[in-house]
Amino acid sequence: MPESLADLESRRAAIQSQVAQLGDMRSGSITDTGGRCGTPNCHCRRSGDPGHGPFSRLTRKVKGKTVTETFSSPAALAKAQLEVAEYHRFRELGKQLLDVNEEICRVRPVEEPALSPQEKKRPKRSARKPRAK
């Protein structure tokens, strides 16, 4: 059974309330990287050595370009993880808000505007005689 307009508007208000309560957020994704450097005598060149890392990095797009940020401490990484999680929550709430708004638009009845007295009058017929063919 489809939801009533009042139920949908209530759902929309609940989502908007959740959006208003969101904290700091940043876009992007956090990944761990590691590898080997180019120094010939480094420990990472020995067989069986896991190499350098892992290093956590935040990657995101800024004005169409990919930007990568490394973290100075585990606390900075933990902070960024919370901010990225908050951004993903924002995206999910935005999708839910759009879905419920589309449903509201579909369910809301069309209201015909009241006609002014001028619009109610029928246009007068032309007094001119039609041209002969």
pLDDT in tens, 48-60: 888 887 889 999 9
Pick from 97, 85, 78: nearest CA to 24: 85
pLDDT score for 88: 96
> Mean pLDDT lowest for which of 51-65, 68-82, 109-123?
109-123
pLDDT score for 126: 67
Is pTM beyond 0.95? Reply is: no
Q: Would the pLDDT of 119 be above 80?
A: no
Matching residue, tokens 């309560």: 21
pLDDT score for 21: 96
Q: Would the pLDDT of 123 be above 70?
A: no
The neighbouring-strand residues paired with 70 are: 57
> Mean pLDDT lowest for which of 16-20, 24-28, 47-51, 106-110?
47-51
Rounded CA gap, 18 and 12, in Å? 10
Helix residue ranges per DSSP H, the chain: 5-20, 74-107, 117-120
pLDDT score for 133: 67
> Mean pLDDT lowest for which of 35-44, 62-71, 114-123?
114-123
